[in-house]
Each structure stands twice: as structure tokens, then as C-alpha cells.
Amino acid sequence: MATPGRLATIGLFASQELTLAVRSRWTAIFAVVFAALALAVGGSGYILTGGLGLQDFARTASSLVQVVLLLVPLTALLIGVQALATERGAAELLFAQPVARGTVVVGKLLGLFQALAAAQAIGFGAAGLVIFSQAGQEGAGGFAVLVAGSLALTAIFLGLAAFIAAGNVGRRARALALALVTWFVAVVLFDIAALGVASLLRSGHASRLLVAAVLLNPVDAVRTGTLLGIEGDAAFGAASLAFFRIAGGRTWAASALLLSVAVWSVAPVALAIWRLRRADL
């Protein structure tokens, strides 16, 4: 019997993971909550304009950034760890097959990414349709940047979930706890800590710290990049503004942010594969 090639095997794992994610109540809950929040944020523009109409795509996208930054990393980490930190018996059966461990990881991640992207598409699509019907297509480019940012966060935090799961085969509860800690550090604690430390430093050092913070934390990189794409530096916080000034322009800032996002998308997956290859199961 001829075993399938590497690409076909990746496709097989992706397809199975997509099936599992579609049948998972967690994916369904995420899709519903995300759609509800997107519609609520989109609809809030109607109230803010005094009932005259919805805000356009760009303003809605700005309002949705915070929802995406909070919800997408959390969901990607939890659903990713839930799927990848399988029970020991399942992992042993799977990894005893004549398939490289990296192939399994990449295939599963692809399937999970497809499932979460589809869940987000429901939310973005619903909000987009409502806005388009009421406010036209003005600012649709900014909305597309937000969707891209959301997908980037999904990829990055699925990679981090893979890294956590690779060190916790058969220990799902521990992996889930680590996923929550990772989310808290990346989304909540990191910015507070960076700003706190920066406030104790002299101006030059503080700026450099804040610039580093934007590039080192994927949430900050995506936030800065998305806001930059939607409405320039108008909505920037202290760290993003410091980064934008030092980058010396939109092109350099966007390039540095894209590089940061690319590294964050690839490095955790590569480390997860490396970790899993060395692991005794």
C-alpha cells in the first residue's frame, strides 16, 4: 500500500481538523459571539449618529479593532490547544503512523485556521452586509485591513497554541491553563507593563522600549498595523505613536509591522515542530 505524499497528508489532516472544528460547539459559540459583537458594533453607529444612519466601513472597523484584539487571540489559543493537545492514546496512535510529526502539526493547523477564518467570515460578513446596505462602500479598504489583521492574529495564536500543545501532550488541562496565561500576558499585561516601565525611563529609552514593545508583541503589532491601515496614526496610543515616529513614515512602519507579523506567524509553528520532534510520547 502506497502512503500518500506529504501535501496529500497535510490535506488529510487539515480536512479532518476542519470537520472536527465545524462539529465543535466551541467554534459555533465563537462564530455566534463574534457575529453578534460585530453586528452590535456596526449597529452602534446608528445610535451614535442619532438614528440618521450607520457609520461607514472605516469607522466601524476602528470600533471593531478592540473586539478582534480581545476575542480572536483568546479563541485561537483555546480552540487550538483543545484540538492539538490531544489525549495521550490519540497522540500515540497518530504519531506512530509513518508520517513526520511536523506534517501532522501543519495539517492540523491549516484545518483549524480554515475553521476559525470561516467563523470570522460569518461575523465580518454579517456586519459588512449591514454597513454596505446602509452606508455604501466608503472605507471598505479599512474594513479589509481589519479582516486581514484578524486572520493574522488567528494564524499567530494558533501557532502559539501549537507550541503550548507540543510540550503538553496528554495534559490538556495544563495546556489550557498555559493558553489563558499566554492570552492574559499578550493582550492585557504586556502593554500595561511596557507603559509602566517606560514611565520610569528617560524619554529616549522609553521611546525605544515602546517601539520594541510594538514589534515584540504580536497583538500590538497587529493593532498598530490595523489602525494604520484604517485611519493612519489618528487613533494611535503612546507605543504605536512612538513606533510610527521612529519608523519614519508609513511605508517603513508597515514593512516593520509586516515583518513582525510574519515572524510571529512562522516562529511558533517552527518551534512547536522542533519541540514535538524531540518529545517522547
Partner 1 sequence: MIAFERFGKRFGAQVAVEALSLRVGTGEVFALLGPNGSGKTTSLKAAAGLIAPTSGAVLLGEPPRPAVDPAARDVCSFLPQKVSFPDALTGLEVVHFYARLRGAPRSRARDVLEFTALNGAGARAVGTYSGGMIQRLGLAVASIPGAAVLLLDEPTASLDPVGLQAFHVLVEQHRRDGRTVFFTSHQLDDVERLADRIAILVEGRLIATFTRTELTGQLADRGVMRLVLGRRPADLAERLTALAPRATLEGDELVVPGPASRRPGVIAGLQDLGVDIRSLTAEEGRLDAFYRELIGDPP
- Contact in structure between 170 and 87 (CB atoms under 8 Å): yes
Pick between residue 98 and residue 248 the one whose CB is nearest to partner 1.
98
Q: Counting every residue, how long is the chain?
A: 281
Nearer Cβ to partner 1 (167/237): 167
Q: Does 23 bind partner 1 (CB under 8 A)?
A: yes
Distance CA 114, CA 132 (A): 25
Judge whether 7 and 98 are in contact, CB under 8 Å: no
Q: Judge contact between 21 and 27, C-beta under 8 A.
A: yes
Compare residues 22 and 246 and give the one whose CB is closer to partner 1: 22
Does 19 contact partner 1 by CB under 8 A?
Answer: yes
Amino acid code (one letter) for 106 = V
At 96, which amino acid appears?
A: A
Q: Cβ closer to partner 1: 91 or 219?
A: 91
> Any contact of residue 16 with partner 1 (CB under 8 A)?
yes
Q: Which of 7, 10, 12, 228 binds partner 1 (CB under 8 A)?
A: 12
Q: Does 200 bind partner 1 (CB under 8 A)?
A: no
Q: Which residue has the cell 511536523?
A: 102
List the grid coordinates of 61.
Answer: 472597523
Examine residue 93 and tell whether it contacts partner 1 (CB under 8 A).
Answer: yes
Residues that bind partner 1 (CB under 8 A): 1-4, 9, 12, 16, 19-20, 23-24, 86-90, 92-93, 95-101, 278, 280-281
